[in-house]
Every structure is written in structure tokens, then in C-alpha cells.
Amino acid sequence: MELGARVRFDYALVASKLPEIFHALGITLYTWILGLVGACALGFLVAVARRYGPRPLDLALGGYVELFRGTPFLIQLFLLYFGGPYAGLSLDAIPAGLLGLSVYGAAYFSEIFRGGFEAVPRGHVEAGECVGLSRAQIIGRILLPEMTMLVLPASVNMAIILMKETAVLSVVTVPELTLTISAIGTEFYAFVECLFLLALFYWGLTEICSWLGRIGEARLARFRFAAA
């Protein structure tokens, strides 16, 4: 190819591979949503355990949070997928990816939720204690609703980060968007088309997640003011 020759975007190639690409998109959404749900649930449990559990449990869970926030997700995934069998934990690619996303994301979500708990005015909790609410009722009726309003923006940002981290699952052969589109680009030497398309998909998912987050914030704000 001559120096400075113009590279043409191969739309026909992209169109012919759309079934494979949308299948990979489905796997990306599957791993992202399940990983996100797992991370939120585990992160909430960690936050509650650190707030109400004994001091040794708080220290142990704090060590887990610092370890998983302080190391790259790629290294964690390698250790889980390739090192797991040495510890008796042998997982296929997708289950390993789901577990990795959940445990990694939970470390961040636990800190988001812990900050949300601490931001709830102490007087609201004391009022619940005065009327005889149990600890579980205080969490479910006071802390959780108020915390949700406070932590939603940070949680949406974390959800977007986890969505982008699904690209890392390609290194353990999860057939998500990055692995599938990169393989197409390598097979047909169509790197420009494939990388552009890959970026477009992730950008679109980010915008959808942000849009849903804004809708959630607006509805929670209306509920909050109505309750006030």
C-alpha cells in the first residue's frame, strides 16, 4: 500500500459478521449484569458486616477490600482462572469471569455502601431505635432507602467501570465483544473497522447505563421530596 493511501471502511464485512457480534454482545450483557448483581449483593453484605460485625471480622473484610482494590482485575482473573485449580477451584471461562467480576466489584461497592451508611443522619437511626425497631428493621426501613438515594451516582459509575472490565474476560477466552470482534479483525485484517465498532458498542452501553442512572436519580428524588 502506498504511503498516505486512504483506508476504506469495510461496511460489508461488518454487516456480514453482525450475527456473531450480537451474540457476543449478549454474552457481554449477561456477564456484566450478573457480575453487577453479584458485586452489589456481596458488597452490601460486606458493608453491613463491617458496620455491625465484631472487630476481627471488620479487620478481615477490610483486608479483603484493600487487597482487591489494590490489585488489577487482570491479575485477579489470571489467578482465579489459572491458579484456581491448584487450590481445588476449577472453573470454566464464563463462571470464572462472573465470580471474578463479582468479587472485584464487591470490594468497591462495599466502600460505596459503607460511605452511604455513614452519611445517613445518626438521628434517623436513633429515632428507629426509640420506637423499638430491630437492627434488621433499621437497615431495611431507614438505612437502605436513604443510602440508596445517596449512593446511586457512585453506583452507576461503578456499574460502568464493571461493564468496561468485561473486556478483560477475553484473556480467559470468554467469547464476549472484545474477543469476538478482535478475532474478526485479525482474521480479515480489518483492525480499523473492528476497533471502531468495539469502541462504539462500549460507548453505547455506557450512555444507556448513564441514562438509566439519571432516570433512577430523578425518580428517587421525587420519592424523597414526596416523602418529606
The structural domains of the chain, with segments of one domain joined by +, span: 11-227
Give the whole-angstrom CA distance, residue 25 versus residue 202: 10
Per-residue pLDDT band for 3 (boundaries 50, 70, 90) equals very low
Ramachandran assignment for 157, one of left (phi > 0), alpha (psi -120 to 50 degrees), beta (any other): alpha
- Alpha carbons 196 and 214: distance in angstroms, whole number: 27
User: Spelled out in words, what is the top-level CATH class assigned to the domain 11-227?
Assistant: mainly alpha
| Predicted local distance difference test score (pLDDT) of residue 26 | 96
Position with higher pLDDT, 66 vs 4: 66
Tell whether the model's pLDDT for residue 185 goes beyond 60: yes
In the predicted model, is pLDDT for residue 5 greater than 70?
no
Distance CA 199, CA 194 (A): 9
Instruction: Quote the mean pLDDT of the chain.
Output: 88
Burial of 225 (0-12, 13-18, 19+ CB in 10 A): exposed
Is residue 21's pLDDT more than 50?
Answer: yes
The mean pLDDT of 48-77, rounded to a whole number, is 94
